[in-house]
């Protein structure tokens, strides 16, 4: 095994031990969530509006057979939305 291969393998092991985060912006503040708590990320798809719902509830979406709420985090946390 070459020295370069040993260094590469060592770096791979360190990356496996490092914690990873999903980072996102909410207006002008940055937030992080550990990827261990994230099930999946998806692009906006068809969102069905719900009549007489809270202002922060954008609607619901079908994610792989499960109906999930789509929430505006800005409005939910009392911030102004973009």
Tell which phi-psi region holds residue 68, choosing left (phi > 0), alpha (psi between -120 and 50) or beta.
beta
- The structural domains of the chain, with segments of one domain joined by +, span 1-39, 42-82
Instruction: Identify the residue whose tokens are 């999930």.
Output: 68
Inter-CA distances, 69 with 8, 9, 12, 82, Å? 43, 42, 37, 20
Cα 40 to chain center, whole Å?
Answer: 7
Identify the pLDDT of residue 5.
Answer: 46
Identify the pLDDT of residue 78.
Answer: 66
In a structure prediction context, what are the per-residue pLDDT tens digits for the chain, which is 82 residues long?
A: 544 444 345 445 545 557 888 888 877 788 888 988 888 777 777 899 999 998 889 899 988 788 989 888 777 666 665 5
Alpha-carbon gap, residue 26 to 82, rounded angstroms: 9
């Amino acid at each position: 095994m070459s020295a370069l291969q040993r260094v590469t393998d060592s770096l791979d092991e360190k990356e496996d031990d490092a914690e990873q985060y999903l980072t996102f912006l909410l207006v002008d503040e940055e937030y992080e969530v550990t990827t261990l708590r994230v099930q999946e990320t998806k692009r906006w798809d068809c969102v069905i509006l719900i009549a007489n719902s809270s202002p922060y509830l954008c609607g619901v979406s079908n994610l792989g057979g499960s109906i999930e709420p789509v929430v505006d985090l800005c409005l939910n946390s009392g911030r102004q939305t973009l």
